[in-house]
Amino acid sequence: MNYLEGAILKWFAENKRDLPWRKSNPWGVLVSEFMLQQTPVVRVLPKWNEWIQRWPTPEGLASASTAEVITAWGRLGYPRRALRLHESAKIISSEFDGKVPESEAILKSLPGVGEYTAAAIASFAYDSRALVLDVNIRRLFCRVIDGVESPRTSLSNHERAVRTELIPENDPHVWAAATMELGALVCTSRNPKCRDCPVASRCQWKAAGFPESDQLRKSQGWHGTDRQCRGIIVQALRENAALDIKEIKKLWHDESQIEKALATLIQDGLISRNVRSLYALP
């Protein structure tokens, strides 16, 4: 075990959060990974607990209606994730006898599962030596090893190769969780807590004087966006059985955005319009 691995694993053993999906089964891990996509842990925790209590198996979620799934997703954001999770539950139930697949290749064939999510499920559910690289892990390694503030937008083959060499043979899922935790809690995007970092003495970014990166991502705004408009419409339909166009137009100030939001929500399968021109959840 090298210094980097030893120091990070020791820190994790003393500082890891008590997250329920870390003690769950593969289905619980899969649900958590869908929910954690672009959503912080603090918002996911109560919703994950609700879903696992309500749908503790893929078969349970597969039997739910689309409207039930969208309503249960609540304000977690990016509700298309709920539809993809619902679709994945149906496939797991019908094609894999209710067992979450272990293979990354098979996992990537499920709706809503990309390279990172497949690796995370394989690692955390089955202790696979998968390359788990979320934004927190990538940022940590870029700073400590490469000496730059933040990773590039796209993941290069070189980055994959170098980071794969760091994965230990024993308990690789612990390494993935530890590096993710350190990046999320200490080596944060803004105002990193270097005094609390177990590998600060070996950090190349710190040694270089914390040079600013030209790769910093600008966070997308929320207020006034199409996403906010869509979210308001979906929430209104969670709270009402159906609404007509006049009622929906009262929800938002821009009529053109309303029309665009309705069209894309229908296209995405998140809402429907019946013969009476009433909008509702599917």
CATH architecture, domain 16-126: Orthogonal Bundle (1.10)
- Domain extents for the chain? 16-126, 226-280
- The 10s digit of each residue's pLDDT in 129-169 is 999 999 999 999 999 999 999 998 888 899 999 999 999 99
* Residue 77 identity (one-letter amino acid): G
Token readout for 33 is: 């990974």
Question: CB under 8 Å to 140, separation ≥6 — which residues?
Answer: 179, 182, 183, 187
Calpha distance 147→176 (Å, rounded): 21
Phi-psi region of 171 (alpha: psi -120 to 50; beta: other; left: phi over 0): left
Domains 16-126 and 226-280 share a fold: no
Higher pLDDT, 227 or 66: 66
Residue 33 appears among annotated catalytic residues: yes
Calpha distance 181→177 (Å, rounded): 6
- The 10s digit of each residue's pLDDT in 8-46 is 999 999 999 999 999 999 999 999 999 999 899 999 999
- Catalytic residue of the set 5, 33, 87, 149: 33
Q: What is residue 225's predicted lDDT score, i.e. its pLDDT? A: 87
Fold exhibited by the domain 226-280: Arc Repressor Mutant, subunit A (1.10.10)
Q: Is the pTM of this model over 0.85?
A: no
